[in-house]
Amino acid sequence: MSEPLTNTRALRIATRPPRTRLDVWPRRTHRRWLLRGIFALPYVIFAVVVSALGATDSPNATLVARATQIDWERADAQWLGEIFPPISTLLAAFVPGGALTLSIIGALSAGVFLQKLIEIMVQRRFARSTIVILMMALALNPLFFYNATQNYAAFLGLLLFGLGLSHIVRFVTWGNTESGFRVGIYFMVAVLTDVTALVYVTAAALSAPILRHRRVGVVGARRANALVILYPAVSALISLAVLNALFLGRPFAGATQSAFTGFGDRLVVVGQFFSTTEGLFVIAPLVSAWLVALIVRRPGAIIISTLVFGAFIVGFALGLLPNGSTGNIFMAMTLLAIALIPTARSARGTLMISLVGVLQLLIGWANALTSTALALWASQIFGG
């Protein structure tokens, strides 16, 4: 009996179509969802335990408090400004369970995202050791746990940003038109979910022309690519700004109204912050992204990572980065490095990328252990 079964299995494997760069992973739907559930489980448990321990001060709690103060029976232009960014605000206002529910939604989103991230690396034919190390660097540190379960708006914005980055590479470098439209949608939803995404999404989209293009020699191709990527997000923001200008006399309202208030003072705070130990560890992920760019011989990625890093600094100086946010730069730089790493071509290159992944893992923990915001939040749970 064993021989026919063995022959049938061998025939099924032999006739299976070859994997392409855009195939889903795992191939079977139930296995993908099982993997997503396994990845999400630790974060769900963490969210429930933290809630049971009585942590009440978090970005999720602040978002819920703001959403409950909005008059939902209105529908005027000022109201549109108050609910911006609308996706996270509407979710916080209407899901039952308040901050705990947002924490669980964030945990489930983390499970889906981590599966998609592995799928991207499998499509790029990363070595298994590299996949494991990069996944550990991103997901197995307190920063990821904190953002997934306590800072849903910023976390979802970063997840969409990471998926959008992978589609930028497919669109610009591989010439996949469908990915161009997908990255536009991802970036638009990110902007409508997290105010901070206004700056880092714009930086990533404007840096797309720096990537190596498939359409070499085509006049205007780089500008066209950037337009396709930015068009959905820019259209949504311009529509909101026009409504505010027509009915309120100013283009910005709500979360973006006071963006330039205290800009200079916050820039001074940034300069002082980077002179501290915590600030140095915040810069360290940028250095790792540079190392990856040099290893894979994509010097343009250095410019891209620097622009995105600078966008976060501008976001803080504009007051767009909400209180309690921590680890955003680490996560963004890690996602950027993963998105820009090409298919592994040599054992030496794979080894060097894996070593940078180990370095990124250590940097993530150093970021967490020196983070003032994370320490203040943890003191609620452990009583100082």
Q: Give the pLDDT confidence of 318-350 residue by residue, as tens digits.
A: 777 766 567 888 999 999 888 878 776 788 888
What's the whole-model pTM score?
Answer: 0.86
Confidence of residue 243 (pLDDT cuts 50, 70, 90): low
Residue 185: count of CB within 10 angstroms of its CB: 15
* % of the chain at pLDDT higher than 70: 80
- Indicate the burial class of 347 (C-beta count within 10 angstroms; 0-12, 13-18, 19 or more): exposed
Cβ contact 240:80 at 8 Å = yes
What pLDDT, in 10s, does the model give residues 48-86? 999 888 777 888 998 999 898 888 877 666 676 678 788
Confidence of residue 369 (pLDDT cuts 50, 70, 90): very high
Predicted confidence (pLDDT) at residue 277 exceeds the cutoff of 80: yes
Output the DSSP codes for 162-213.
Answer: HHHHHHHHHHHTS--HHHHHHHHHHHHHHHTT-TTHHHHHHHHHHTGGGSPP
Q: What is the pLDDT of residue 218?
A: 59
Q: What is the pLDDT of residue 322?
A: 65
Cβ contact 304:339 at 8 Å = no
Query: In the predicted model, what is the mean pLDDT of the chain?
Result: 82
Cβ contact 114:65 at 8 Å = no
Question: d(Cα 242, Cα 252) in Å, to the nearest integer?
Answer: 9
What pLDDT, in 10s, does the model give residues 91-101? 999 899 889 99
Calculate the CA dihedral of residues 33, 157, 305, 135 and round it to 10 degrees: -30
Q: What is the pLDDT of residue 168?
A: 82
